[in-house]
Amino acid sequence: MAAQNHVHEKPSADRINTVVSELQTMFGDRLTTNMTVREQHANTTTWVKPQPADAVVYPETTEEVSSIVKLCAANRVPVIPFGTGTSFEGHVNAPYGGICVDTSRMNNILDIYAEDLNCRIQPGVTREELNDYLRDKGLFFPIDPGANAAIGGMVGTRASGTNAVRYGTMKDNVLSLTVVLPNGDIVKTASRAKKSSAGYDLTRLFVGSEGTLGIITEIVLKLHGQPEAISAAICPFPTVKHACDAVIAAIQYGIPVARMELMDEFTVRSLNDYSKLDLPVSPLLLLEFHGTEPSVKEQAELFGEIAAEYEGGPFSWTVKPEERSKLWKARHDAFWAVKLLRPGVKDVPTDICVPISRLAECVDETRRDLDESNLLGPIFGHAGDGNFHINLLIDMDDADEVARMKAFMERMVHRAIDMEGTCTGEHGIGQEKRKYLEIEYGREALDLMLTIKKAIDPLNIMNPGKIVTWQEK
Amino acid sequence: MAAQNHVHEKPSADRINTVVSELQTMFGDRLTTNMTVREQHANTTTWVKPQPADAVVYPETTEEVSSIVKLCAANRVPVIPFGTGTSFEGHVNAPYGGICVDTSRMNNILDIYAEDLNCRIQPGVTREELNDYLRDKGLFFPIDPGANAAIGGMVGTRASGTNAVRYGTMKDNVLSLTVVLPNGDIVKTASRAKKSSAGYDLTRLFVGSEGTLGIITEIVLKLHGQPEAISAAICPFPTVKHACDAVIAAIQYGIPVARMELMDEFTVRSLNDYSKLDLPVSPLLLLEFHGTEPSVKEQAELFGEIAAEYEGGPFSWTVKPEERSKLWKARHDAFWAVKLLRPGVKDVPTDICVPISRLAECVDETRRDLDESNLLGPIFGHAGDGNFHINLLIDMDDADEVARMKAFMERMVHRAIDMEGTCTGEHGIGQEKRKYLEIEYGREALDLMLTIKKAIDPLNIMNPGKIVTWQEK
């Protein structure tokens, strides 16, 4: 288990000072060592304890990023890429200090290729900025993690969201990347062709690599035409199992459902309290269908028939935008509704993903475990992908509760892996889930990941302490 | 350009003999050194000159493959993975000798997970075998390169085919792999969950790696529900540009076309001669739509309207199976029709892929170049992906013609790359397209591929001389 013990040490103050002072010369007021800024960059929406970098720098071009990385490589100082800091697993922490490279000023939309349904952007563009820009062009970008994340960060964590069941994840929606490697080399991973068999899949090597193999400085993303029509639906089921069976049947039938979100009874109950709704207190599916007018009608009706077979109902659907918004507001309110059950405590989100045949069983066992552990949290998720979340509400000052939370999370991961699933569907590994990689993949596969990391980043300067770590000799 | 000069040498006869004699003990009559068999394994459907391995072995399990690889690693003898040998670019050649690992006896379908829409198979299962097996289960596997290839080989070359515009390529349809690494380690690349953010994307690292990083011994594939209804359509257009514009419009409109195949005028003319048809002699699109009865009707009619906007027509569509078969027979006959224009010569297939906005221009320039080069070949392809093929008909004994062919192919690749495309959309790099990788990706990206290859296969025993090569010190 040597690879799980990282004994890397912080660079000496001399080396840090050399890099910071050179960067000051190069970047002027686009370099800061202000402690508040550094702490913000190590801890935004996560419960993981902040470990600030020694400085934060704001490059604007690929070449500037390359010069930062070259300087850090020459002095063996860590480089921590930063988008919006909305990840959950400690991805932006700097356990060995170093330079935080904030890409927020690299936020230009460079090209829209409407005919090819793709675009070229800088990594600091957020998903909402991109969609605002695309709105009057009849195009959209479907990947929607909860936060308004920077697209660069979404590439890094292989993000997905509610639309993944139809449109895939970041893995499926990135055509090509420009990456600054740990030696400062600038690499373009692919052409703008829709597909290619030309050599190793460098694009997918970087998607999900969490900044540990390089910094993404340009992205070619697939886009999609805005659907002519959208219908939304809501349907309660007697049990989570009934809801999941309906999901499986709909997918097998080939209904191209765009969104298929599950909320458990606990979540629905809190929502009714919070939003003064009278949703039936039972597991609930929220759905969305994209297509032409006749097609979204057909899809919704077909799903209604399938839901009835699995004792779902009353099933209601609509194409009216205001009614659709109301339905989806419920989904978004869930987060706040549950937060208010216990104000002032920390929100600890975690996620796993299992084959959908095991989803109901996994959700039920997890809910039971949650209750038995005397922990509070809604279960909701992307049922069509077998991916679900719990946002635990934890008093981080209560050592016993924190211990129960950690034990619960560990059981949750083991449960997923035992069901042929994964320890994270969309949040990533970061610092907190490193220990599960060997359990999920086995020693040999983890060694392969280490081999890749060591070959591409032999000095271990790129976001060290994330995904894979090793004991230096 | 050192990396493009491989000066690897064949292992000594002693080392080869040691390995062959050990394998004989282990595998008995599942090991052969018969020259006819060895030559068949180096050259099946390709025009590339055969370079036979020293022996062919037929393992049946992952563990057997691992023991072969360990033995070869210990003696530094090359290992060449073999499926059905239907690739085009010399992937199964053994330029440095070694052991050909024929996976044809690893042809078991291990598990069908109908609810999860995936299955676990051995790599020697062919795509037709899989679909025959799935037929009465209401499922199908959509990736269809022309040949009845082994799925393991399709993983290796990142294959696609006519359905890719809707269902993606092998990259999108492989969930997980079991791989024997160059050191004999057995690695599982992912769980059976539909998505994951857990560490590096090992699955995509091997998809398209052409056996140069390991041998695939088990595959978890995504499956799809058989569509309730299928409609097929045919539509001539005045020019390739008009046809491509209709394709672009259909994709932008969001019509989920399953197949969208382009044939150029030359191809149609030969087809009329060969099959006694009276297709309009002009560029032609063949289409297929999958969905419910009303949906395939709607899709076909919508496409008809779009085609009319781009002067396409007469547009005819049908849901009747016998009429559908007739339409698609035309597509499949194209290959034979053109072959008969010049019997006895070699068929030399090649492919490129460009952003679809450039497809018409690329096809037109390529046709002009073909005619000016006095070469014969149909242009047809997967218009929805921007991917097209030419099957050149070449007298390989005519040195001048071969020289013209090679110069033409080189211009074709440069044209694709200049249009932000790739030197191969689905055939792969093998031996013949190695020289284009640096042109397409640049030196730094090619160095990154080399870094990966050297780290994972430091002895360079896995299918050496394919994709990336380097000069030994």
The whole-chain average pLDDT of chain A stands at 94
Reported ipTM: 0.96
**CA-closest candidate to residue A463, choices A153, A27, A131, A144:** A153
Res B129: pLDDT: 98
Res B469: pLDDT: 86
> Mean per-residue pLDDT for A9-16?
92
Q: Does A472 reside within a domain?
A: no
* Contact B397/A at CB under 8 A: no
Q: Does A473 reside within a domain?
A: no
A-B C-beta contacts closer than 8 Å: 297
Which of the four pLDDT bands, split at 50, 70 and 90, describes residue A5? very low
Place of tokens 């080189």: B410
**Tokens at residue B378, please?**
């149909």
Same domain, B238 and B203: no
- Taking CB atoms and an 8 Å limit, are A187 and B355 in contact across chains? no
Res B340: pLDDT: 82
Res B472: pLDDT: 54
Same domain, B211 and B268: no
Per-residue pLDDT tens over the stretch A398-438? 999 999 999 999 999 999 999 999 999 999 999 999 999 99
* Contact B111/A at CB under 8 A: no
Q: State yes or no: cis peptide before B314, omega within 30 of 0.
A: yes
Which of the four pLDDT bands, split at 50, 70 and 90, describes residue A334? confident
Same domain, A118 and A187: yes
Chain A interface disruption, residue of B185, B197, B217, most A CBs within 10 A: B197
Q: Which residues of B touch A188 (CB under 8 A)?
A: 441-442, 445
How would you write the pLDDT of chain B (473 residues) with one tens digit per residue? Answer: 334 344 577 899 999 999 999 999 999 999 999 999 999 999 777 888 899 999 999 999 999 999 999 999 999 999 999 999 999 999 999 999 999 999 999 999 999 999 999 999 999 999 999 999 999 999 999 999 988 999 999 999 999 999 999 999 999 999 999 999 999 999 999 999 999 999 999 999 999 999 999 999 999 999 999 999 999 999 999 999 999 999 999 998 889 999 999 999 988 988 888 888 888 899 999 999 999 999 999 999 999 999 999 999 999 888 998 888 888 877 777 777 888 888 889 889 999 999 999 999 999 999 999 999 999 999 999 999 999 999 999 999 999 999 999 999 999 999 999 999 999 999 999 999 999 999 999 999 999 999 999 999 999 999 999 999 876 54
Same domain, B233 and B286: yes
The CATH code of the domain that includes A389 is 3.30.70.2740
* Contact A228/B at CB under 8 A: yes
Q: What is the 3-state secondary structure (H, E, C) of B212-258?
A: CCCEEEEEEEECEECCCEEEEEEEECCCHHHHHHHHHHHHHHCCCEE
Q: Does A467 reside within a domain?
A: no
Q: Which residues of A touch B441 (CB under 8 A)?
A: 187-189, 198-199, 202
* Contact A350/B at CB under 8 A: no
Res B3: pLDDT: 40
Percent of chain A whose pLDDT exceeds 90: 84
Contact between A313 and A374 (Cβ < 8 Å): no
* Contact B458/A at CB under 8 A: no
**Tokens at residue A118, please?**
């793709």
Chain A interface disruption, residue of B195, B206, B226, B230, most A CBs within 10 A: B195
Per-residue pLDDT tens over the stretch A24-75? 999 999 999 999 999 999 977 788 889 999 999 999 999 999 999 999 999 9
The CATH code of the domain that includes A42 is 3.30.43.10
Q: Which residues of A touch B422 (CB under 8 A)?
A: 190-191, 193, 195-198
Same domain, B209 and B86: yes
Res B244: pLDDT: 96
Measured in angstroms, the CA of B351 and the nearest CA of chain A are apart by: 10
- Could you say which of B118, B195, B385 has the minimum Cβ distance to residue A426? B195
Res B353: pLDDT: 98
Same domain, B84 and B197: yes
The strand order across the sheet containing A215-222 reads A109-113, A118-121, A215-222, A174-180, A186-188
Q: Which residues of B touch A415 (CB under 8 A)?
A: none
Q: How far is Cα B302 from Cα B231, in angstroms, rounded to an integer?
A: 12
Q: Does A317 reside within a domain?
A: yes
Same domain, B325 and B394: no
The CATH code of the domain that includes A283 is 3.30.70.2190
| The pairing of beta strand B174-180 with beta strand B139-140 | unpaired
> Mean per-residue pLDDT for A123-144?
97
DSSP assignment letter at A47: S
Q: Does A119 reside within a domain?
A: yes
Q: Which residues of B touch A158 (CB under 8 A)?
A: 195-197, 201
**CA-closest candidate to residue B89, choices B351, B363, B333, B341:** B351
Per-residue pLDDT tens over the stretch A228-271? 999 999 999 999 999 999 999 999 888 999 999 999 998 898 88
Same domain, B278 and B183: no
How many whole angstroms from its chain centre is CA A157?
5
Place of tokens 């050909």: B100
- Could you say which of B420, B437, B448 has the minimum Cβ distance to residue A192? B420
The CATH code of the domain that includes B80 is 3.30.465.10
Same domain, A275 and A315: yes
Supply φ then ψ for residue A245, to 5 degrees: -65, -35
* Contact B114/A at CB under 8 A: yes
**Tokens at residue B51, please?**
């370079």
Same domain, B67 and B160: yes
Domain extent, residue B110, equals 21-226
Measured in angstroms, the CA of B180 and the nearest CA of chain A are apart by: 10
Q: Does A185 reside within a domain?
A: yes
Q: How far is Cα A463 from Cα A469, in angstroms, rounded to an integer?
A: 10
Q: How far is Cα B345 from Cα B339, in angstroms, rounded to an integer?
A: 8
- HSE at residue B97, side-chain half, CA atoms within 13 A, is 19
For chain B, what is the largest distance between any 2 Cα atoms, rounded to a whole number of angstroms?
A: 69
- Taking CB atoms and an 8 Å limit, are B200 and A228 in contact across chains? no
Same domain, B222 and B298: no
Q: How far is Cα B222 from Cα B140, in angstroms, rounded to an integer?
A: 9
Of A225, A254, A273, which closes a domain? A225
Chain B interface disruption, residue of A195, A203, A433, most B CBs within 10 A: A195
**Tokens at residue B363, please?**
């096809």
Contact between A150 and A166 (Cβ < 8 Å): no
Per-residue pLDDT tens over the stretch A343-364? 889 889 999 999 999 999 999 9
* Contact A368/B at CB under 8 A: no
* Contact B155/A at CB under 8 A: no
Res A330: pLDDT: 77
Give the residue from chain B lying closest to A213, CA to CA. Answer: B200
Q: Does A460 reside within a domain?
A: no
Number of domains in chain B: 3
Place of tokens 């597991």: A283
- Report helix, strand or coil for B201: coil
- The answer on pLDDT for A198 being more than 60 is yes
Same domain, B396 and B288: no
Q: Does B7 reside within a domain?
A: no
Q: Which residues of B touch A422 (CB under 8 A)?
A: 190-191, 193, 195-198
Res A7: pLDDT: 53
- The burial class, CB within 10 Å (0-12 / 13-18 / 19+), for B72 is buried
- Could you say which of B193, B433, B452 has the minimum Cβ distance to residue A354? B193
* Contact B473/A at CB under 8 A: no
Res B293: pLDDT: 93
Q: How far is Cα A138 from Cα A126, in angstroms, rounded to an integer?
A: 19
Of A176, A204, A225, which closes a domain? A225
- Report helix, strand or coil for A150: strand
Of A282, A305, A339, which closes a domain? A339
